[in-house]
């Protein structure tokens, strides 16, 4: 039997990944999101105002650790990446304008999942050195389910997939976009620039990453959304038409608005899949950042990370969608043409002129840079879970930086496919655990709501002897 070529292996892995994501993981993510929405009585709707207020009041109070806002920014940095530029464009091309509507739907559902997994990360976190905390799926598998072995499995897969392969595919996509836009810039030049920026930050550890991302991530998202608002203001008379296209395409009311895959099913599947894996709700990645924050109550960080889903999809992904749909010369439903980040770039150029090409290249570069930093923070938490201390963290930083450079110069079809499968397996493990441990979150939410109802502005969590919880939390974290 002849050996498989790299191309054939990548094709088979990609086919398996597509089937698994579309018909297993996406269905499970939506089902768990609906279940948690019902169990929390739509926490993402009832406490949306509290999410916003918590964001604006969470910059301080970390007592030397990672602040609540910094943990939010790290999660936002990893969420808002090239997928928000390229992934949304792919969804709209394949599924038509209606795909954007289904991205909105799964984001609103996924906010409950993100709230639950991030609250769990706080409930079961452990105290690290330098006044910092470590938390995430590996920790709530160990401390909530009592299985260090499965926690170690999750941690090992997360380190390899997020800290190495995700970084490689992100920088690979970046190098391709930059070289396609400006041919005089070789991929290795992009790699060198990334190394010079990434290495000093990651060698500074999690606090260094948090300090950079709390500035870069929100600013990056804000600039991108402001550009979209300018474009929308320039095309204000076309907005009702675009909104009608989105709704009609989502409900299958106009076959002319279907994407190149054709049909209502294509709109739903592309919108659901791209939406879920843009906002990361349920995949078990963001809780690694959520668990590092120093907060008074776990629900505080759960609400903040749920708001991150809103920012990622409802604001940033929508920004990409409107940029494309308003560019009637660049994009036509049902027709093959430009795709991915190049489509988004050309849509901006159509609206603002050729001068906007270079700013878009810089924006995409910063998107990937911040995502790489977010990947480091996720991986570092899991290195700590496996027993690694400062030297192991520095080794991770060197390894991640090398992966960032390698991704810009290598052809990675097999790595792309394996990365999708590994992340899918992480999501599958995490969703099962989140459902099993959801009663801890429901108890913490009742505790937070009771204190707020009693007039406490900043509720304080008591993890030992709390009658609303199934048991006591980890020693040394949530005692008085």
**For the chain, domain boundaries:** 15-447
Under DSSP, is residue 134 helix (H, G, I), strand (E, B) or coil? strand
Q: Residue 150 corresponds to which tokens in the numbers above?
A: 């499965």
Backbone angles phi, psi at 182, to 5 degrees: -130, 95
CATH code of the region 15-447: 1.20.1740
For every residue of 241-256, DSSP letters joined together read HHHHHHHHHHHT--GG
Under DSSP, is residue 479 helix (H, G, I), strand (E, B) or coil? coil
- Lowest mean pLDDT segment, chosen from 85-99, 123-137, 187-201, 204-218: 204-218
| Residues 423 and 166 sit within 8 Å (Cβ to Cβ) | yes
The pLDDT confidence band at residue 142, using thresholds 50, 70 and 90, is: very high
The pLDDT confidence band at residue 35, using thresholds 50, 70 and 90, is: very high
* Cα–Cα distance for residue pair 473/215, rounded to 1 Å: 33
* Cα–Cα distance for residue pair 175/301, rounded to 1 Å: 35
* Cα–Cα distance for residue pair 369/314, rounded to 1 Å: 22
- Lowest mean pLDDT segment, chosen from 43-52, 284-293, 471-480: 471-480
pLDDT tens by residue, 147-162:
999 999 999 999 988 8
Q: What is the largest CA-CA distance in the chain?
A: 72
Tokens 């709230």: give the residue: 115
pLDDT of 206 above 70: no
The pLDDT confidence band at residue 36, using thresholds 50, 70 and 90, is: very high
Backbone angles phi, psi at 334, to 5 degrees: 80, 0
What's residue 169's pLDDT?
Answer: 82
Q: What share of the chain is helix, strand, coil (3-state, %, to 5)?
A: 75, 0, 25
The pLDDT confidence band at residue 187, using thresholds 50, 70 and 90, is: confident
The pLDDT confidence band at residue 39, using thresholds 50, 70 and 90, is: very high
């Amino acid at each position: 039997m002849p050996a498989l070529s790299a191309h054939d292996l990548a094709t088979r892995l990609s086919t398996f990944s597509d089937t698994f994501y579309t018909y297993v993981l996406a269905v499970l993510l939506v089902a768990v999101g609906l279940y948690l929405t019902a169990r929390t009585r739509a926490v993402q709707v009832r406490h949306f105002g509290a999410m916003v207020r918590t964001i604006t009041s969470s910059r301080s109070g970390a007592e030397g650790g990672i602040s609540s806002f910094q943990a939010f920014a790290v999660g936002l940095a990893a969420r808002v990446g090239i997928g928000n530029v390229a992934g949304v464009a792919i969804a709209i091309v394949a599924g038509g304008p209606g795909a954007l509507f289904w991205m909105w739907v799964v984001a609103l559902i996924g906010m409950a999942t993100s709230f639950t997994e991030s609250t769990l990360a706080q409930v079961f976190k452990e105290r690290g050195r330098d006044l910092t905390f470590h938390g995430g799926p590996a920790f709530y598998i160990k401390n909530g389910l009592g299985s260090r072995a499965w926690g170690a499995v999750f941690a090992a897969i997360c380190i390899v997939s997020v800290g190495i392969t995700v970084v490689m595919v992100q920088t690979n996509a970046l190098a391709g976009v930059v070289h396609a836009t400006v041919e005089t810039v070789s991929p290795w030049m992009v790699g060198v620039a990334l190394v010079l920026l990434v290495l000093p930050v990651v060698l500074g550890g999690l606090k260094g990453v948090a300090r950079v991302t709390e500035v870069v991530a929100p600013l990056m998202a804000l600039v991108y959304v402001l550009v979209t608002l300018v474009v929308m203001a320039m095309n204000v008379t076309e907005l009702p038409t675009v909104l009608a296209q989105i709704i009609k395409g989502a409900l299958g009311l106009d076959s002319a608005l279907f994407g190149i895959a054709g049909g209502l099913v294509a709109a739903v599947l592309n919108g659901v899949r791209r939406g879920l894996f843009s906002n990361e709700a349920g995949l078990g990645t963001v809780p690694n950042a959520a668990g590092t924050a120093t907060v008074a109550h776990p629900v505080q960080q759960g609400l903040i990370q749920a708001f991150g889903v809103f920012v990622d999809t409802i604001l940033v992904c929508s920004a990409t969608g409107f940029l494309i749909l308003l560019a009637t010369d660049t994009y036509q439903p049902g027709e093959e043409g430009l795709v991915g980040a190049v489509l988004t770039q050309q849509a901006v150029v159509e609206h603002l002129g050729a001068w906007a090409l270079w700013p878009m290249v810089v924006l995409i570069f910063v998107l990937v840079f911040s995502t790489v930093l977010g990947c480091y923070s996720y991986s570092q938490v899991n290195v700590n879970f496996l027993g690694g201390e400062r030297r192991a963290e520095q080794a991770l930083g060197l390894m991640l930086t090398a992966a960032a450079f390698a991704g810009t110069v290598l052809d990675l079809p097999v790595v792309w496919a394996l990365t999708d499968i590994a992340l899918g397996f992480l999501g599958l493990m995490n969703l099962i655990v989140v459902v099993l441990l959801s009663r801890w979150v429901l108890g913490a939410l009742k505790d937070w709501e009771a204190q707020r109802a009693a007039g406490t502005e900043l509720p304080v969590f008591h993890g030992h002897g709390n009658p609303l919880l199934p048991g006591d939390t980890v020693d040394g974290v949530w005692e008085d």
